[in-house]
Amino acid sequence: MQHVINILMLVVPVLYVTLQTLVLRQWTGFHQRLALLPLAGWAVWGAVLGYRVLQGEAVRPALPGEVMTFSGLSLIYLGTLAVMRKIQKQNAE
């Protein structure tokens, strides 16, 4: 079971980064701006992490879990956004 978790901790963030890159390249306008929302969350998370490191606090062992969880949530968000975009395009036709 531990091997599955380790693989997921690598695969989920890579999938998220790949999807985020594709979405930002292909989408334009309002949908592209909505797709930027997860990046704001990553920026806040990175700022908090950087602040803790500068304060001399140790990085928590939960860090890989946080990355996997936030990547997974971001994947769900982008997937939902893609479905909504497709439905909107079909309704416009």
Number of domains the chain contains: 1
Q: Is the pLDDT of residue 7 over 80?
A: yes
Per-residue model confidence (pLDDT) at position 25: 94
Are 31 and 85 in contact, with CB atoms under 8 Å apart? yes
Per-residue model confidence (pLDDT) at position 55: 83
3-state SS class at 48: helix
Per-residue model confidence (pLDDT) at position 30: 92
CA 61, CA 2: separation in Å to the nearest integer?
A: 16
Any idea what DSSP says for residue 28? -
Per-residue model confidence (pLDDT) at position 88: 93
Per the structure, the complete domain to which residue 82 belongs is given by: 2-92
| Per-residue model confidence as pLDDT tens digits over 17-46 | 999 999 999 999 999 999 999 999 889 988
Give the predicted TM-score (pTM) of the model: 0.79
CB atoms within 10 A of CB 69: 12
Nearest by Cα to 66 from 9, 7, 6, 2: 9
Band the pLDDT of 63: cuts 50, 70, 90. confident
Q: Is the pLDDT of residue 56 over 90?
A: no
CA 19, CA 24: separation in Å to the nearest integer?
A: 9
